[in-house]
Structure 1
Amino acid sequence: MILLFSLCTFALNAQSKKQQELEARRQSILSEIRQINNLIASKKQEEKTIISTVEDLNYKVNVRKNLIKVTNDQANLLTREINTNQKQISTLRDQLKYLKEDYAAMVVKSYKSKSEQSRVMFLLSSENFKQAYKRLQYIRQYTDYQKEQGEEITRKTEQLQQLNTTLLQQKKDKDKLLEENRVAKQKLEDDVKEHEKLVASVRKNMTAYASQVKSKQQEADRIDREIEKLIREAIAASNKKAGKSETTSKGFALTPEARALEASFEANKGKLPWPVRTGVIKVRYGKQRSSIDNTIEINSSGIRIATDKNAKARAVFNGEVLAVQGTKTGNPWVLIQHGNYITVYKNLSKVYVVKGDKVTTNQDIGEVFTDQTTGESMLWFSVYRDSKFQDPSIWIVR
């Protein structure tokens, strides 16, 4: 019984920790939904394009699906916790029954020999002093054991009551989760219907949309090539200045301070702050299919974060501004060096820093550009090292 109870307690503790992780994840998703709803609401005054609306709805649909999945996981875990609790309650009841029976037998036995005369006779009938001493010890031990049994029954009763209270709360939590999931599924159905309706209208002019996506992708690729070229030239210049070979060196010629900065940047992988104060990731890193037409492929060298109008872009870590660049047709971008790592902030309307500036974590470096047609403010954020872009989402805090 003790072994079974210990195993149940261990399993319950592990499940409770997992439950806390799932609840934190669920709250994070709910916060993400609130942010995208706020972003969509803030753009209602603008003359949004259908494509922008479809992309927003597609994002909401995916986030709601994730919410439903996490909530289902929580409900299933609660079911397992309830089952574990019920097993513990059953085990405790068996233990309590055994303790009460044992205690009742002791009380009866004690009652039959409770008189002081019986105890004295029990001692006086001893054959020698040693036996009398042992009998006295037995009387004391028996009295202590009775007391311990009474305390154990009280403790087990309180534990059983506490488990019953926990079980009732778990059942209420499960019912609440199931109701929230029902509401989430209804909202998901509404979003899917609206999404499908808009997608159908967009597909009537799919050629124009495909051309627009292709044009944007070409512009993004052109900017990425320009950034890569600029970084290569900066690496070559730093190695030339340090008297090293420009052709064999893949990274910058770093000072001890710069190497320490790079090590600190690496140590904070997954902990870096977001490059904007609020926002949601609308486009993730790498190759992916269009939310409107899955035959169209999008390749992103970083992540694209939808944020508030006039939002400030900020440095994710200490570093030095490597370059501030822009074109006649495109919005400016900022490159910040952290040893051999480069963070890239694209699609800005204003820039607050210049090349060579030392920046600190969370320092504002510019303002995110807001598209006057769609009302959308989108920061393009990338991380670069060793002649290639990396997935920024694994660097910033989840």
Structure 2
Amino acid sequence: MNTRFFLTACAVFALCAAPLAGQNSKASLQSRKTALQKEMSRLNEAIARNDKNQKSNTVQLQSLRNRTRVREEMIKNINTDIGMLDVQIDSKSGEAERLSKELDTLKASYSRMCVNYYRNKAPGMRLMYILSSSSLLQAYRRGKYIEEYAGAIRQRGENVRSKNEETRRAIEELKKLRQEKGQLLAEQASEMEKLKKDQARIQNILNSLKKNKKQLQQELTAKKKTAERIQKEIDDIIARELAAQNKKNAAAGKKKSSEIELTPEGRILSANFAQNKGRLPWPVERGDIYMRFGNQPYPGTNVYITVPGLDISAPQGSYARAVFDGQVTRVQVKDGLYMVFVSHGKYYTIYSNLSAVNVKSGDKISVKQKIGTIYTDRFEGKTILTFCIYDGGVKQDPEQWLAR
């Protein structure tokens, strides 16, 4: 008995939960679609700016690759949506077919009942039917039967009307689902066509870049030097702070430490910074990823280089801004370009490739405060910020920390 009840309850729960699961999946797809459309809009603006300002091929190449990636995700999202609609259409088609058959059966039954009723409708025939009874009880029952039969006909008529309305609604819903699928298929075809155009444009840029190997080699060398310089500066900052700390410890008779001991304020700042992982504002107001963190192929080549952070392409005249409250620990300048180091407890953010700065060493800064102006290459039109995050001396992937 308990087992039967449990199985019945599970079946009822499954039937009730299925539509809710479908609704949740639909809502999730719509949410993802909105996010992708927002990202696509941002990339379209960046590519339009690059075209207008005649940005270098490598900048445009990365923007186009990013747009291709987003478009592929959009197509995947559409395909998933179409798959869900196919399931709904199959289900609704089966429901509409079942309801149509039930309606036909009801109509046939109703028709037969009406024919029988009206065939014996004459008052004389009904009276004769009752008077021919063998007893008063039988006469009463026959009268009651005639009354109930008339009621049954009325009820059957109501059933026909109700089933007809239910069938009409199912067919209308099926029509809407098919229209929605048609719109998605048209949207899919449009995105596929745009994807092909972007892929062709990417190939043209790659062909152009192959003809200018000297320029690419110079950029590769500069990028490698920047990565080495950032790592050296971070190591130097940590080594100096650790040396100063151990000097104080020695004077106080304490043991030598291999890690920097944070002040209470520094511990709070570190904790707050860590809690905002994935929610930090971008270090530029508007921009697009030029190169991602880690071992990455340099745009237009098969050569891999180690990117210490995130290279962000921005409009000319853009400024770098702080992603969190902190204190400027160092401002370095080399070949006329600045690099700013900001500490957030045990974490550091670095803003590199600046033509001018708005802060100095020792300054306490707040989130979104201007750090400096990003350098624009006069010949190629590139405006690229190299942004890094370190946890102590360990490089982090900035993309995992920034808001999406």
TM-score > 0.5 by shorter chain? yes
Code of the residue aligned with 2:258 in structure 1: it is T
- Determine whether 1:61 maps to 2:71: no
Q: How far apart, CA to CA, are the structure 2 residues paired with 1:214 and 1:167?
A: 61
Do 1:310 and 1:370's aligned partners in 2 also have CA atoms closer than 8 Å?
Answer: yes
Structure 1 counterpart of 2:398: 392
Structure 1 counterpart of 2:17: 10
Structure 2 counterpart of 1:265: 273
- Determine whether 1:315 maps to 2:322: yes
Code of the residue aligned with 2:61 in structure 1: it is V
- Cα offset, 1:385, TM superposition: 0.7
Q: How far apart, CA to CA, are the structure 2 residues paired with 1:18 and 1:380?
A: 38
Sequence identity percentage: 30
Deviations 1:344-385 (A, max 9, x none): 222223322223333233333333322222323222222111
Do 1:275 and 1:314's aligned partners in 2 also have CA atoms closer than 8 Å?
Answer: yes
Structure 2 residue corresponding to 1:229, chosen from 227, 236, 241: 236
- Cα offset, 1:166, TM superposition: 5.1
- Determine whether 1:253 maps to 2:262: yes
Using a 3 Å threshold, how does the CA distance of structure 1 residues 78 and 225 change in structure 2: closer, same or farther?
Answer: farther
Structure 2 counterpart of 1:31: 38
Structure 1 counterpart of 2:385: 379
Query: What does residue range 1-398 of structure 1 map to in structure 2 within 5 Å?
Result: 7-83=14-90, 167-206=174-213, 208-238=215-245, 240-241=247-248, 247-249=257-259, 251-255=260-264, 257-294=265-302, 296-317=303-324, 319-329=325-335, 331-398=337-404
Code of the residue aligned with 1:290 in structure 2: it is Y
Instruction: Kindly name which structure, 1 or 2, has the bigger radius of gyration based on alpha carbons.
Output: 2
- Cα offset, 1:16, TM superposition: 2.7
Using a 3 Å threshold, how does the CA distance of structure 1 residues 259 and 253 change in structure 2: closer, same or farther?
Answer: closer
- Cα offset, 1:40, TM superposition: 2.9
- Cα offset, 1:86, TM superposition: 5.2
Using a 3 Å threshold, how does the CA distance of structure 1 residues 380 and 173 change in structure 2: closer, same or farther?
Answer: farther
Using a 3 Å threshold, how does the CA distance of structure 1 residues 95 and 324 change in structure 2: closer, same or farther?
Answer: farther
- Cα offset, 1:88, TM superposition: 6.7
Do 2:103 and 2:164's aligned partners in 1 also have CA atoms closer than 8 Å?
Answer: yes
Structure 2 counterpart of 1:138: none
Using a 3 Å threshold, how does the CA distance of structure 1 residues 328 and 258 change in structure 2: closer, same or farther?
Answer: closer
Do 2:29 and 2:81's aligned partners in 1 also have CA atoms closer than 8 Å?
Answer: yes
Using a 3 Å threshold, how does the CA distance of structure 1 residues 305 and 219 change in structure 2: closer, same or farther?
Answer: closer
Query: Counterpart of 1:342 in 2: which secondary structure?
Result: strand
Query: Counterpart of 1:327 in 2: which secondary structure?
Result: strand
Q: Aligned residue pairs: how many?
A: 360
Task: Please identify runs of 4+ aligned residues in structure 1 that moved more than 6 A.
Answer: 1-5, 87-101, 156-163
Code of the residue aligned with 2:293 in structure 1: it is Y
Using a 3 Å threshold, how does the CA distance of structure 1 residues 290 and 16 change in structure 2: closer, same or farther?
Answer: farther
- Cα offset, 1:64, TM superposition: 2.5
- Cα offset, 1:208, TM superposition: 4.9
Deviations 1:128-160 (A, max 9, x none): xxxxxxxxxxxxxxxxxxx9xx99x97x99887
- Cα offset, 1:96, TM superposition: 9.7
- Cα offset, 1:287, TM superposition: 0.8
Q: How far apart, CA to CA, are the structure 2 residues paired with 1:159 and 1:281?
A: 53
- Cα offset, 1:181, TM superposition: 1.8
Query: Counterpart of 1:43 in 2: which secondary structure?
Result: helix
Using a 3 Å threshold, how does the CA distance of structure 1 residues 53 and 394 change in structure 2: closer, same or farther?
Answer: closer
- Cα offset, 1:389, TM superposition: 0.7
Deviations 1:148-184 (A, max 9, x none): xx99x97x99887766655544433332222122112
Q: How far apart, CA to CA, are the structure 2 residues paired with 1:303 and 1:371?
A: 18
Using a 3 Å threshold, how does the CA distance of structure 1 residues 387 and 80 change in structure 2: closer, same or farther?
Answer: farther
- Greater mean deviation of Cα atoms: 258-267 or 387-396: 258-267
Q: Please, what TM-score do these two structures have when normalized by structure 2?
A: 0.72
Using a 3 Å threshold, how does the CA distance of structure 1 residues 387 and 186 change in structure 2: closer, same or farther?
Answer: same
Do 1:343 and 1:381's aligned partners in 2 also have CA atoms closer than 8 Å?
Answer: yes
- Cα offset, 1:393, TM superposition: 1.3
Query: Counterpart of 1:347 in 2: which secondary structure?
Result: strand
Code of the residue aligned with 2:197 in structure 1: it is D
- Cα offset, 1:190, TM superposition: 1.5
Do 2:327 and 2:344's aligned partners in 1 also have CA atoms closer than 8 Å?
Answer: no
Code of the residue aligned with 2:32 in structure 1: it is R
Using a 3 Å threshold, how does the CA distance of structure 1 residues 306 and 15 change in structure 2: closer, same or farther?
Answer: farther
Using a 3 Å threshold, how does the CA distance of structure 1 residues 74 and 333 change in structure 2: closer, same or farther?
Answer: farther
Structure 1 counterpart of 2:117: none
- Cα offset, 1:60, TM superposition: 3.0
Using a 3 Å threshold, how does the CA distance of structure 1 residues 38 and 97 change in structure 2: closer, same or farther?
Answer: same
Do 1:22 and 1:70's aligned partners in 2 also have CA atoms closer than 8 Å?
Answer: yes
- Cα offset, 1:97, TM superposition: 10
